[in-house]
Amino acid sequence: MSKNKSSKKLSWQLCKPVVASALAIGGIFNLVGVVLAEGTAAGTQITNTATATYRDPEGTPQTSTSNTVVVEVAEIAGITVTNTGAQKYDPATQQGIAGAVQPGDQAVYTFEVTNVGNDETDISLPALANFTGPVDSVVSIVADLNGDGTFDATTETITNRTDIENVAPGASFKVRVVVQTSTAAQSNDIITVQYGDTPGDAQNQPYDSSGGSIFTDDNDAADAAATPGTPFDTNGPSQTAAEAGDEAPANGEREASATGQITINEEPLLQPLVRLEKDFTAYANQNNTDINDDELTYQLNVDVLDTSADVPTGSNAEPADLQPITLSGSTSITTKHVLISDAIPNKTTLSSAAVTGDALNDGWQVVYSTD
C-alpha cells in the first residue's frame, strides 16, 4: 500500500561499544588484562591509547601519551535448553503426528539446545532422560546434527554420553526424546519428560558432574584437529591448536535442562499460526520542492505457518488452517475472506493498495476498508 509523506525525519544509528581504557601520565607501564564481555567473541583484543594535554608550571603546553592498553575478552561458557513441543509419535514414519496420545502410544518430546556463550564449544548430551507418569521406557534419544529439525539421515542416536562437536556461539540444535506410554495409562494422566537435570529446569547453571547433565564441554586439542564435515563446523576446525587447550572458560562449564508434558487422551489445540511482517520497500520524491506529495510504499506480508517447528516454544498446539469468515450480506457462505487490518502512519493518507499472493489462488478474498 502507498502513502503520502508529510514530514521527513533524520535517522540516527546508535551503538554501544565495549571500551577499556587506562591513562598514565609521567610514567610507563604495560597492561594485558582479561575482561568478560557478553556477546563479544572470546579472544577479542580491545586496545586503547590515552592522550592528555596540560601546562607545566611555566605555562608551556605539554602532551603525554600512555602506552597502548590491550585487554582480551575471556571465554564465557553458556547453555540453554528449551522444550519446543510434545506430541504423538508414529514409529513407522519416525515423525510426530497429529492426534491425542492414547494408552500404549509412543510420544515424542523435542528440546532445543543453544550455545549462549561467546566461544565455540562442544555440548555433552546424556543417554538418559527423567520422566513422570505412566511410562514404560525411554525408547530413543536422537540429536539432529545438521540443525534442520527434520531428524533425517543426519542424526545421531544417543546410546552413550555423546559430545556434539564445535557448536558455534548462538547456534542451536534439537534433540528428541521418544517414550513408550503404558497400556494401563488413564485419561488425563500427565506424562512429563525432563532432559537434563538442573533443579527447576534452571538455565546456564554451573556444571555439577551429575550423570543426567547437558553441559558445555570446552574445545580441546582434538577439536583443533577435527576434519571438515563435523557437525556445526562444515568448513573444518575454527580453532588453532594454540586456541584449543586446557584453559577452561572463565565462568566454568555450564549446564541446563527443560521439561515437556502431554496429557493422555487430550486432543491437542488446533491453532492457526499467522506471521505478519510489514516492510518499508520504496520511497519516491515526486516533487523536490514539496514534501506533501512524497510517496512511501509498504508491503504487508501474511504467512500462515504449517509445521510443528513454527509452534511457539512451550506450546502443545498444532498448526491448523485459517477458518473463513462470512460477511453480512454475502451471497455465498462458502467464500473465504481474510480481513486485513493495518495502521496508516500518522500524517499520511492511503494512495493505493494492491493485493497479490498464493492465497488468492486458493480462493481467499482480501477484505479491507480505507476509512
- Kindly state the average pLDDT of the residues 20-42: 46
Q: What is the pTM of this model?
A: 0.65
Residue 194's CATH number: 2.60.40
Which of 244, 263, 282 represents a domain boundary (last residue)?
263
Q: Where are the beta strands (DSSP E) in 162-269?
A: 162-167, 172-181, 190-195, 205-206, 214-218, 254-256, 258-263
Q: Is the pLDDT assigned to residue 30 strictly greater than 80?
A: no
Instruction: Identify whether 253 is part of a domain.
Output: yes
Specify whether the CB–CB gap between 84 and 315 falls below 8 A.
no
Looking at the structure, tell me whether residues 98 and 121 fall in a common domain. yes
Q: What is the pLDDT of residues 238-277, one digit of tens each?
A: 444 334 445 678 888 999 999 999 999 988 777 788 888 8
Is the model's pLDDT at 72 over the cut of 90? Answer: no
Residues above pLDDT 90, as percent of the chain: 27
Query: 126: buried, middle or exposed (CB in 10 Å: 19+, 13-18, 0-12)?
Result: buried
**Residues 141/125, Cβ–Cβ less than 8 Å:** yes
Domain-located, residue 123: yes
pLDDT band at 162 (very low <50, low <70, confident <90, very high): confident
Say if residue 44 is in the same domain as residue 114. Answer: no
Does 235 lie in the same domain as 104?
yes
What cell numbers appear for 12 in the block?
A: 540516527
> Quick one: 85 and 65 in the same domain?
no
DSSP string over 59-73: --EEEEEPPPEEEEE
Are residue 169 and residue 46 in the same domain, yes or no? no
pLDDT, position 360:
72
Residues facing residue 135 across a β-bridge: 181
320-359 confidence digits (pLDDT tens): 777 776 666 655 555 677 777 788 888 888 887 777 777 7
pLDDT tier at 129 (50, 70, 90 boundaries)? very high
- Beta partners for 262? 191
Q: Are residues 119 and 184 in the same domain?
A: yes
Q: Which domain holds residue 274?
A: 270-367
Average pLDDT over every residue of 114-134:
92
Domain boundary among 33, 48, 73: 73
User: Does the residue 12 lie in any domain?
Assistant: no
Residue 292, φ and ψ in degrees, nearest 5: -75, -10
Q: According to the per-residue pLDDT averaged within each range, which of 4-8, 55-59, 105-109 is highest?
A: 105-109
For residues 351 and 218, state if they share a domain: no
- According to the model, what pLDDT value does residue 230 have? 47
- Average pLDDT taken over every residue of the chain: 76
pLDDT at 76 over 50: yes
CB atoms within 10 A of CB 309: 15
Query: Tens digits of per-residue pLDDT, 170-184?
Result: 888 999 999 999 999
Asked whether residue 7 is domain-assigned, the answer is no
Provide the domain count of the chain.
Answer: 3
Residue 61 scores a pLDDT above 60: yes
Q: pLDDT tens for residues 181-207?
A: 999 999 999 999 999 999 999 999 999
Same domain, 255 and 274: no
Do 281 and 259 belong together in one domain? no
